[in-house]
Amino acid sequence: MNIAIVGAQWGDEGKGKIIDILSKDSDFIVRYQGGNNAGHTVVVGGKRYIFHLIPSAILRSNKTCVIGNGVVVDPKALLEEIEVVRKQRIKVDKTNLKISLNSHIVFPYHRVLDKLREEKGTNKIGTTGRGIGPCYSDKVSRNGIRFADLLNPAVFRLKLKDNLKEKNEIFNKVYHFKTFSFQDIYKEYSGYARQLKEFACDTALLLNKAAKNGKSILFEGAQGTFLDLDFGTYPYVTSSNSISGGLCVGTGVSPDKIDKVIGVVKAYTTRVGEGPFPTEFTSGLMDKIRQKGMEYGATTGRPRRCGWFDAVMVRYAITINGISELAVMKLDVLDNLKTIKICTAYKFKGKVCKDFPLDYEVMQKATPIYEEHPGWQEPIAKVATYRLLPLNARKYIERLEKISGANIRYVSIGSKREDTLLRTK
């Protein structure tokens, strides 16, 4: 069975945990977009691991982890991550990690440009500052440098020279920033090429062969539907297609090979960075939920903005991604609340809209229409099965299911692998 896991909100839904659980029964675990802007946290055996580029399934033996062509790879960050994993005595070598020769490489000038645009531009996105947008821009402009180029010294030399010629002009004239030295980058990145060479692979062929031979593939989406370049709250989005459709382009695996799409949501909503957020808390609840849910970015440590569950968004995400099952994470964070709200629709200029608005003004100014539910007001972290959850907690989940329109199959009540309740009807 080939399964895609996607975020149905603004990222940080807890996909890492569901991926970790499902990877047990998968042979190949594949990243298809994004880069080290992502941060997937998993807690195994009391240890907390945060992965940015390597699929978290690297923690399991006999799995092949793949970084697909749709990913942008910062080799420095990747090598650091490999080292951290190896220090835990976990194997990372060419037998369990494969990197697409077509993936694009993040350079120092991408990182610097990302930061300069945020500091000096007029439209601050609140990016992670990892150079993701500028790297994807180069890919689309057809002057990007791919992993295959990095491995070929003659090609790398030519492409880097070309890039720096144009980019140094921009750094100098537009941003009044120092220019980049060809020699320094060439030397540094040739070193990375030597270290990463063993992982190079035509991952599209590898995955298609695997699918043909009946192996199971788990596609791990990074970020979330509303950070998707096309379907998110543009321009406050990331620069890749994080929806399930993105996996075909980002891996070379065709849509007919995808058996199921699982969407991951929090029992409430969070977002990092700028942009519209209709159900954002305006009261003291912001601090309360942020503290209880430890809502700080896994990549940048920035405090996440928090708000109520938004069914308008999740319904849209279910449609766009073809989600048939949902995992609801962090239900325990709502333990102490007397009442819990769910946004069912928006109101703008007296009109009710039930579908996610594409108009930027509506997105910014719409007010949520809420329904209120009584909280359960008791700790649920130690509950062993779904049926043992307090009645009001089950009623909340059942309401989320009805109003969203996809089966809720997993309910998470804590950070450990074991704290995930399987819901069977």
- Interface residues with ligand IMP (CB under 6 A) are 11-12, 37-39, 125-128, 130, 132-133, 222-223, 227, 236, 238-239, 272-273
Residue nearer to ligand IMP on the CB measure, 239 or 404: 239
Beta bridge partners of 368: 346
Q: Which is nearer to ligand IMP, 127 or 420 (CB)?
A: 127
Q: CA–CA separation, 193 vs 86, rounded Å?
A: 19
Three-class secondary structure of residue 151 per DSSP: coil
Least distance to ligand IMP, CB of residue 296, Å: 11
Residues marked as catalytic: 12, 40
**For residues 411 and 419, what is the distance between their CA atoms, to the nearest angstrom?**
9
Judged by beta carbon, residue 23 or residue 127, the one nearer ligand IMP is 127
| DSSP letter assigned to residue 240 | S
Nearer to ligand IMP, 39 or 70 (CB): 39
Of 11 and 245, CB closest to ligand IMP? 11
Tell how strand 339-348 and strand 309-310 pair up. Answer: parallel
Question: From the CB of 140, what's the least distance to ligand IMP, in Å?
Answer: 14
What is the rounded CA–CA span in Å between residue 134 and residue 34?
12
Torsion 315-287-331-273 (CA) sign: positive
With CA atoms as reference, report the closest residue to 11 among 308, 335, 242.
242
Q: Kindly give, in sequence order, each residue whose CB lies less than 8 Å from that of residue 141, ignoring residues fewer than 6 positions away.
A: none
Give the whole-angstrom CA distance, residue 277 versus residue 287: 16
Measure CA 309 to chain center: 19
Instruction: Give Cβ neighbours of residue 119 (< 8 Å, ≥ 6 apart).
Output: none
**In angstroms, what is the minimal distance from the CB of 222 to ligand IMP?**
6
Nearest distance from C-beta of residue 387 to ligand IMP, angstroms: 33
Helix (H) or strand (E) holding 192: helix 182-196
Output 35 or 101, the one with its CB closest to ligand IMP. Answer: 35
**Hey, what are 366's tokens?**
């719409």
Nearer to ligand IMP among residue 316 and residue 376 (C-beta): 316
Residue 415 Cβ vs ligand IMP, minimum distance, rounded to whole Å: 17
178, burial (CB in 10 Å: exposed 0-12, middle 13-18, buried 19+): exposed
Dihedral sign from CA coordinates of 340, 344, 345, 350: negative
